[in-house]
Amino acid sequence: MRVGILTGGGDCPGLNAAIRGAVYRARKYGYETIGFRDGWKGARDGLTMPLDAVGLAHAGLRGGTLLGSSRTNPFAQEADAEKLLATLTRERIDALVAIGGDDTLSAARELHRRGRPVVGVPKTMDNDVGGTDWTFGFDSASTVAMDALERLRDTATSHHRAIVLEVMGRHAGWVALATGLGGAADVTLVPEETYDESSLLAHVKSAVAARGCALVVVSEGIDLPVSQGSTGGQDQFGHELLRERGVGAEVARRIEAGTGIETRSAQIGHIQRGGPPTLFDRILATRLGAKAVDLVHERRFGTVAVLRGERVEGVALEDALKAPKTVDAAWLDLLHTFDA
Ligand code: F6P
């Protein structure tokens, strides 16, 4: 078999470990592997690169993706879809492993609907792909954000200030939740809950009264109307670029205006997506990459390799993509146990 591999959408730590897992497992089956550069763009335009196990021995230690990535939607226009199908035929691809988030996996589902053999691997720092307990990239990104919060705590303590940290995550609050819980924030605002300013101000005041400072974590996707940020345009899949809204800075302005407490804000942006993967992400990505090739070997096309409890399994792409995974009531209950 000749197996094509691509990584699409926003990069995250763990992608190289997933590629390595897939390539080494393919070697075990005696399959050939070939990389497509820059996500669906490379698969559409025939941009390939050799992928062999020897060259990938240490690939899993690094962040980013050695294949490159893009937010190209190969089904945005029918002409692009035809180019993609022609490329897969010309490159003699017997099976494609598509590593990505909801958008990349939706394109994989469409490819499967058009009769091509494809298997998915979920990744994203947002942790919002359905069907899997966790996505790799999330643990690494949240660990970076938690470290940022701890650094901000030093300054907040020294200057008796409130400091707001804005984190990514799109319309799911997983990164904010993990950062707030792991880093002991006084308040954490997630998109799954309605913005409540009076409760926010009360918690900030009480934290400052008790400890002399307040740390607030804000997810970029909260439903706060922004006065100074821009809407930032959209990507090829129609997603608004949320960080351009600057909700963290807006929340800081509102805290200072509503409490009189000197307040600052920080937005760490893509710093969250870079750097070496954590151990958890290295292991998860390695397992899912290898599992994807097992699914190819079993000819279970139209599936995605997922983590369920301690096991990696294959589930139908159709099922995994039914709804994005957002923070549920039990997690919110735990989060609010620690409100200031
Ligand atoms: O989906 C991953 C993510 O990092 C989101 O958390 C964020 O909103 C978006 O990508 C940023 O996209 P870009 O890298 O295109 O600016």
Longest dimension (CA), the chain: 68
Q: Which DSSP symbol is given to 242?
A: G
CATH topology match: 2-136+277-320 vs 141-274 = yes
Question: Can you point out the beta strands (E) in 64-161?
Answer: 95-100, 118-122
CATH class for the domain made up of 141-274: alpha beta
Is the pLDDT assigned to residue 212 strictly greater than 60?
Answer: yes
Tens-digit pLDDT profile for residues 252-297 = 999 999 999 999 999 999 999 999 999 999 999 999 999 999 999 9
Which run of H or of E encompasses 258? Answer: helix 247-259
> What average pLDDT is seen over the chain?
96
**Whether residue 118 has pLDDT greater than 70:** yes
pLDDT recorded at residue 241: 82
Return the ligand 1 atom nearest residue 170 CA: 8
CA of 259 to the centre of ligand 1 (A): 32
Q: Read off the pTM.
A: 0.96
* Averaged pLDDT for residues 193-217: 98
pLDDT at 233: 74
What is the pLDDT, as a whole number, of residue 223? 93
Q: Which fold has domain 2-136+277-320?
A: Rossmann fold (3.40.50)
Residue ranges per domain, the chain?
A: 2-136+277-320, 141-274
From the CA of 90, how far away is ligand 1's center (Å)? 33
**H or E, element range at 288:** helix 279-297
* Choice from 127, 140, 168 to test ligand 1 binding pocket (greatest atom count within 8 A of CB): 168
Q: Is the pLDDT of residue 229 over 90?
A: no
pLDDT in tens, 6-58: 999 999 999 999 999 999 999 999 999 999 999 999 999 999 999 999 999 99
Please state, as a whole number, how many other Cβ atoms lie within 10 Å of the Cβ of residue 12: 29
